[in-house]
C-alpha cells in the first residue's frame, strides 16, 4: 500500500471516529473538535457549502436552516448520500426514538436538498411558533472527489425581522451561534461578504469575543467579484485576505460565489470560472493556497485533522474526568430504591457509613478521606472531637475569667475588671451588712456557715449562661458534623428526610443533656456548700498567707525603708520588739469584719474547688455522656431494622427526578466509556499505521540507487542529516547514502 493511501485512510479514520462520537451524543458531555460555519445572512454560506460539497444547498439564507446542519464529506469510489437527525438533549425519549429513526421520503436528484430540509423541519416540529431547536440534521456525502472533511453549518445571523423571521428570534440565533463558537475545540470558519463592511458584520464581533487572540478562527471572504476594480474597498479586502489587517493564526481564504448569470453552472464550470477570476487583476497577489474552493477543501481538511490530533490528549483527559465524575455521582445516588427491599438495603448501607464516620469523628480518627487534610480549616467542622475539645477548653477559660459575678481585688484602685471589680475591703463591708441579717447564736468574730453558701450562690450566677452558650455551640457542631456525614453517605434527595430523623434523635440527646446540666447546677444554686476536698483548707490558708505576707512586707518597708529584702545593709538596725509590734498591729479590732474576712476566704476557696469540679462534670457527664457518646447509636443498622417499611420508604424512597438523573448518568457513563474505547482504539491503530509508514519509508530509501534521496520535511528544522544520525533513529541506511529533505 502506498504511503499516501495509508495517510488518506488514517485521515478518514480520524474524522470517522470523531463523527461517530458526535452521532452517539458524545458532544453533549465533552466538546469535540469541529469546524463550524458561521456568518451573517446573505454572506454566502450556502454557496460556500455548495462549492465544497458539490451539492445544491438552498441559496435563500433566511432561516431555512433553523437548526445546525452537520455536513460529513468522505472520499469514496462510490457516490452515496445519507440523511439523519441527531435529537437534541432536551427531547423526550419517545421524541428521540422518532427523530433517530427519521429518514426523508424524497428523491434528492429530483427535489433537491431544500425539500429534505423542509421535511426535517416538519419532523422536528418546527413551525411559525417554534422556529428553532437543538436537533442536528446530518448529511453524509461520499464520492470520488470529496475531501475528508466534516463541518457544522449554523443558521445565519440577522438583526431585523421580516414576515418569515421575527425580530424576537434575533437573540435565539445569536445565542445558538455563540454557544457553538465558545466551545474551545471548535474551529470557527467566519464567512464574511465583501459586499458589506467587515466591521458591520455580526459574525466578526462574535468570533472576536469567542476567540480574542484569533487562534482558532479562519476568515472566509465571499463575493470578491462585487468589488469595484481599483477601489479603496477592494484594496482593504485584499489587505484582509493577506492577513495584514485582522491577523488570524489560521489566516484568511477567498472564495468567488456563482453570479446570478452562472446559477446553472455545473461544479466544474463554477470552479473554472473561479480559477479564471483569481488569475487576473489584483487578486493574483493572493497566494493560490488561500483562494478558490479547491485549495479551501484541502486547507480545511488539514486544519480539522491537525485540530483533532492536537486536541486528542486533552480530549482523553476530559473524557476520563467525565467518567470519574459520573461514577462519583452514581455512587452518591446509590442503587435504585424502588422496591421495599432495595430501600431497606440502601438505608442500611447509609447507616453503616454514618456509624463508621461519626465514630471516627468523636474518637478523633481522621484517616478517612471524608475528613480532608490537616492543612487549614477546610473540613474542620467534620472533625467533631477537635471541635468539641477546643470548645470545652474555651469554656473552661471563660468560666475562670467570667464565671464570677464580682472579682475581688486587694487594691482599692484596681480598675482592670470594670463594673465587675470590687476591692476586698469594700466587699467585706457589704458582707458584714449581709451577715448582720443572718446572725445566729455564734459568738462575735464567728459567722453563720450559711453565709458562705449565700455568697457563693451570688458569685456563681454567670455559670448558667456560660454553660448554656457552650452547650448550644456543641449541639450546633453536632448538627453540622451529622449533616456533612449524611450528605456524604446518602443521595441528595434522601438527605433532608434522614436529617429530620437524626435531628429528632439528637434533640432527645439534647433534652437529656439539658436535664443533666440543670442537675449539675442545682447543688451550686439550691443546696448548702458541700465538699470533702482537702484543697479547700489549703486554698484558705494559701489566700490568708499571701495576704498576710503582703501586709507585713508593706509594714516593714514603711518602717525600715524601701530597700528590697534581699539588700544587705549593715547600717540598718532591726529591733525584734518593733517586728513584734508590726504583727500585733495587724490584729483586726472589729470582730465583725474579722469574721467577714474569714467567710470571704472560705467562699473564695470553695469557689475554686467547686469551679474545677463543675467544669469537669459538665464536660464529662453532660456533654460527653449525654450527647457525644450517644451519637453512634442514632442510626445503626439495628435501628434501621426497627423502622416500619413506610418509614423507610419515606426516608429513602426514590422520586422520579432521582430515577431520571440516574438514568441520564448511566447513559452518559456508557457514552463516555464507549467513546474512550473508540479513541484509544484509534490511537493504537494510528501507532500501528505510523510504524507501517516508517517501514515503508525505510524500504523506499533502501531501494533507491541515487546518491541523494528526497524525503518529506521532518518536524525538525534540520534540512539534512548524516546517515549516522538516521541509524541512531532506527533507519537502515547503506554507508554510501546521504538523505536530503525537501
The pLDDT tens digits for 147-186 are 888 899 998 888 766 556 666 678 888 888 999 999 999 9
Tell me: do 517 and 433 sit in the same domain: yes
Backbone torsions φ then ψ of 85, nearest 5 degrees: -120, 130
For residue 555, being part of any structural domain is answered with yes
State how far the Cα of 74 lies from the Cα of 311, in Å rounded to an integer.
21
CATH number for the domain spanning 551: value is: 1.20.120.1240
Structural Rg of the chain based on CA atoms:
45
3-class DSSP state of 34:
strand
Instruction: State the CB neighbour count (10 A cutoff) for residue 576.
Output: 7
C-alpha cell belonging to residue 652: 429513602
Give the pLDDT score at 440: 60
Q: Count structural domains, the chain.
A: 2
- 285 and 347 housed in the same domain: no
| Residues near 611 by beta carbon (within 8 Å), at least 6 away in sequence | 399, 400, 403, 460
Residue 567 DSSP SS3: coil
One domain, residues 496 and 359: yes
Nearest to 128 by CA among 161, 90, 92: 161
Grid cell, residue 170, equals 434575533
Distances (CA, A) of 537 to 533, 540, 541: 8, 5, 6
pLDDT of residue 147: 86
* Cα–Cα distance for residue pair 577/359, rounded to 1 Å: 71
Residue 403 and residue 281 in one domain: no
The cell for 342 is 432495595
279 and 418 inside one domain: no
- pTM of the predicted model as reported, rounded to 2 decimal places: 0.62
Whether residue 682 lies inside any domain: the answer is: no
Same-domain check for residues 89 and 178 = yes
CA angle centred on 122, ends 114 and 140, rounded to 5°: 50
Low-confidence ranges of the chain (pLDDT < 50): 1-6, 61-63, 705-742
Do 407 and 501 lie in one domain? The reply is: yes
543 and 409 inside one domain: yes
CA nearest neighbour of 512 among 673, 640, 631? 631
Asked whether residue 386 is domain-assigned, the answer is: yes
Q: What pLDDT score was predicted for residue 290?
A: 93
pLDDT of res. 16: 84
How would DSSP label each residue in 664-682? HHHHHHHHHHHHHHHHHHH
Same domain? 256 vs 361: no
Which runs of E-coded beta strand occur in 362-489? 407-409, 421-423
Q: Is residue 732 part of a domain?
A: no
Q: Which of 232, 265, 291 is where one domain is finished? A: 291
Domain of residue 195: give its range.
33-291
Residue 472 within a domain? yes
491 neighbors 331 (Cβ within 8 angstroms):
no
Distance (Å, whole) CA 677 – CA 674:
5
Q: Is residue 722 part of a domain?
A: no
Q: What's 46's domain CATH number?
A: 3.40.50.300
Q: Are residues 39 and 175 in the same domain?
A: yes
Let me know whether 350 and 286 are in one domain. Answer: no
CA distance 477 to 571: 69
- Is residue 687 a part of any domain in this protein? no
CA-based end-to-end distance of the chain: 23
pLDDT of res. 93: 84
Q: Cα–Cα–Cα angle for 375, 380, 383, nearest 5°?
A: 115
DSSP alpha helices (H): ranges in 85-159?
Answer: 93-100, 108-111, 113-124
Residue 230 lies in a domain: yes
Return all residues near 79 (Cβ < 8 A) that are at least 6 apart.
142, 143, 144
pLDDT in tens, 454-487: 888 888 899 999 999 999 999 999 999 999 999 9
286 and 379 housed in the same domain:
no
Q: For the residues of 388-415, what is the DSSP string, one character each?
A: HHHHHHHHHHHHHHH--SSEEES-SS--
Closest CA relative to residue 652, chosen from 342, 379, 390: 342
In this prediction, residue 719 carries a pLDDT of 36
Rounded CA-CA distance 280/292 in Å is: 13
Q: Which helix (H) or strand (E) holds 578?
A: helix 576-585
121-144 pLDDT per residue, tens:
889 988 777 777 888 999 888 888
Amino acid at each position: 500500500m502506498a504511503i499516501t493511501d495509508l495517510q488518506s485512510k488514517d485521515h478518514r479514520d480520524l474524522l470517522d471516529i470523531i463523527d461517530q462520537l458526535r452521532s452517539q451524543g458524545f458532544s453533549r458531555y465533552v466538546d469535540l473538535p469541529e469546524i463550524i460555519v458561521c456568518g451573517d445572512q446573505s454572506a454566502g454560506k450556502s454557496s460556500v457549502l455548495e462549492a465544497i460539497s458539490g451539492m445544491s444547498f438552498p441559496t435563500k439564507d433566511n432561516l431555512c436552516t433553523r437548526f445546525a446542519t452537520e455536513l460529513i464529506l468522505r472520499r469514496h469510489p462510490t457516490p452515496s448520500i445519507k440523511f439523519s437527525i441527531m435529537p437534541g438533549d432536551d427531547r423526550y425519549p419517545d421524541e428521540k426514538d422518532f427523530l433517530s429513526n427519521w429518514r426523508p421520503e424524497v428523491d434528492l436528484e429530483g427535489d433537491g436538498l431544500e425539500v429534505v430540509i423542509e421535511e426535517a423541519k416538519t419532523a422536528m416540529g418546527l413551525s411559525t411558533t417554534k422556529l428553532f431547536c437543538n436537533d442536528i440534521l446530518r448529511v453524509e456525502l461520499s464520492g470520488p472527489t470529496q475531501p475528508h472533511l466534516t463541518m457544522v453549518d449554523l443558521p445565519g445571523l440577522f438583526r431585523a425581522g421580516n414576515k418569515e423571521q421575527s425580530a424576537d428570534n434575533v437573540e435565539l440565533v445569536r445565542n445558538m451561534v455563540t454557544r457553538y463558537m465558545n466551545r474551545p475545540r471548535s474551529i470557527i470558519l467566519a464567512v464574511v461578504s465583501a459586499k458589506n463592511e467587515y466591521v458591520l458584520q455580526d459574525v466578526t464581533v462574535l468570533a472576536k469575543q469567542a476567540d480574542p487572540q484569533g487562534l482558532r478562527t479562519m476568515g472566509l471572504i465571499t463575493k470578491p467579484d462585487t468589488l469595484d476594480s481599483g477601489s479603496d474597498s477592494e484594496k482593504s479586502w485584499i489587505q484582509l485576505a493577506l492577513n495584514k489587517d485582522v491577523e488570524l493564526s489560521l489566516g484568511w481564504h477567498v472564495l468567488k460565489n456563482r453570479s446570478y448569470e452562472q446559477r446553472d453552472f455545473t461544479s466544474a464550470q463554477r470552479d473554472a470560472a473561479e480559477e479564471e477570476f483569481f488569475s487576473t487583476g489584483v487578486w493574483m497577489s493572493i497566494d493560490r493556497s488561500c483562494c478558490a474552493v479547491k485549495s479551501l477543501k484541502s486547507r480545511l481538511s488539514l486544519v480539522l485533522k491537525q485540530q483533532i490530533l492536537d486536541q486528542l490528549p486533552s480530549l482523553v483527559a476530559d473524557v476520563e474526568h467525565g467518567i470519574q465524575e459520573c461514577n462519583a455521582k452514581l455512587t452518591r445516588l446509590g442503587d435504585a430504591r424502588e422496591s421495599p427491599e432495595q430501600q431497606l438495603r440502601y438505608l442500611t448501607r447509609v447507616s453503616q457509613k454514618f456509624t463508621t464516620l461519626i465514630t471516627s469523628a468523636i474518637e478523633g480518627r481522621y484517616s478517612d478521606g471524608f475528613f480532608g487534610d490537616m492543612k487549614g480549616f477546610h473540613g474542620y467542622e467534620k472533625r467533631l472531637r477537635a471541635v468539641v475539645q477546643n470548645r470545652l477548653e474555651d469554656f473552661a477559660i471563660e468560666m475562670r475569667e467570667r464565671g464570677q459575678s464580682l472579682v475581688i481585688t486587694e487594691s482599692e484602685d484596681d480598675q482592670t475588671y470594670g463594673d465587675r471589680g470590687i476591692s476586698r475591703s469594700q466587699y467585706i463591708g457589704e458582707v458584714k451588712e449581709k451577715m448582720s441579717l443572718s446572725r445566729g447564736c455564734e459568738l462575735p468574730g464567728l459567722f453563720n456557715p450559711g453565709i458562705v453558701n449565700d455568697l457563693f450562690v451570688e458569685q456563681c450566677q454567670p455559670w448558667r449562661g456560660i454553660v448554656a452558650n457552650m452547650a448550644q455551640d456543641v449541639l450546633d457542631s453536632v448538627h453540622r458534623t451529622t449533616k456533612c456525614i449524611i450528605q456524604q453517605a446518602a443521595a441528595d434527595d434522601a438527605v433532608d428526610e434522614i436529617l429530620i430523623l437524626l435531628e429528632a434523635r439528637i434533640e432527645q440527646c439534647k433534652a437529656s443533656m439539658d436535664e443533666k446540666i440543670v442537675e449539675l447546677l442545682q447543688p451550686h444554686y439550691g443546696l448548702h456548700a458541700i465538699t470533702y476536698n482537702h484543697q479547700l483548707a489549703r486554698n484558705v490558708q494559701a489566700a490568708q498567707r499571701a495576704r498576710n505576707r503582703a501586709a507585713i512586707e508593706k509594714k516593714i518597708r514603711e518602717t525600715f525603708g524601701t530597700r528590697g529584702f534581699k539588700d544587705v545593709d549593715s547600717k540598718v538596725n532591726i529591733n525584734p520588739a518593733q517586728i513584734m509590734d508590726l504583727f500585733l498591729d495587724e490584729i483586726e479590732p472589729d470582730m465583725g469584719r474579722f469574721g467577714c474576712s474569714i467567710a470571704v476566704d472560705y467562699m473564695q476557696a470553695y469557689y475554686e474547688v467547686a469551679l474545677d469540679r463543675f467544669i469537669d462534670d459538665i464536660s464529662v457527664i453532660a456533654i460527653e455522656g449525654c450527647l457525644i457518646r450517644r451519637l453512634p447509636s442514632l442510626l445503626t443498622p439495628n435501628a434501621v431494622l426497627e423502622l416500619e417499611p413506610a418509614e423507610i420508604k419515606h426516608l429513602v424512597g426514590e422520586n422520579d427526578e432521582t430515577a431520571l438523573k440516574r438514568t441520564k448518568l448511566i447513559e452518559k457513563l456508557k457514552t463516555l466509556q464507549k467513546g474512550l474505547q473508540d479513541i484509544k482504539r484509534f490511537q493504537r491503530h494510528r501507532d500501528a499505521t505510523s510504524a507501517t509508514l516508517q517501514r515503508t519509508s525505510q524500504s523506499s530509501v533502501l531501494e533507491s540507487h541515487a546518491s541523494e534521496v528526497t524525503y518529506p520535511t521532518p518536524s525538525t528544522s534540520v534540512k539534512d542529516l548524516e546517515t549516522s544520525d538516521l541509524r541512531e533513529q532506527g533507519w537502515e541506511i547503506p554507508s554510501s547514502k546521504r538523505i536530503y529533505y525537501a
